Amino acid sequence: MLLSEGGYTWAAITGTGCAHWVAHPLGISQGVAFNQCLEGRTIRVPDLVAGKARIAKAKDVKVNDTWANGGLNHCGLVAKVETDKAGTYFHGQGDFHR
């Protein structure tokens, strides 16, 4: 279903909104066309991280790397890197990718 508002055309995204949110600023257009938005950006977490190298050590993570949980149904974009003295970020699960 397409919606138009203010000169823009919008379509419902059937993927994961988080992957779409990460894909736009990084310019990621991976996966088949039906797993991309109208501008060709990725909308599913597995497609977002496909082909990216896993970052083995947390100390090597940098801004603009991606994080995805183990189920590949949620992800995020690294905006800032800092030490978490309590060790609670991400509850110790998921992987970072570059």
Outline where DSSP puts E strands in the chain.
Answer: 2-5, 8-11, 54-55, 66-68, 75-77, 95-97
- Taking the whole predicted model, whether its pTM rises above 0.85 is answered as no
Number of domains in the chain: 1
Helices (H), ranges, 1-98 = 17-26, 45-49
- The tokens describing 77, both together, are 């974009």
Q: How many residues are given for the chain?
A: 98
Running along the chain, 98 residues long, what does each successive block of 10 average in pLDDT? Answer: 69 84 96 92 96 93 96 95 75 89
Order the strands of the 75-77 sheet from edge to edge: 54-55, 95-97, 66-68, 75-77
State which residues form the domain around 21.
2-97
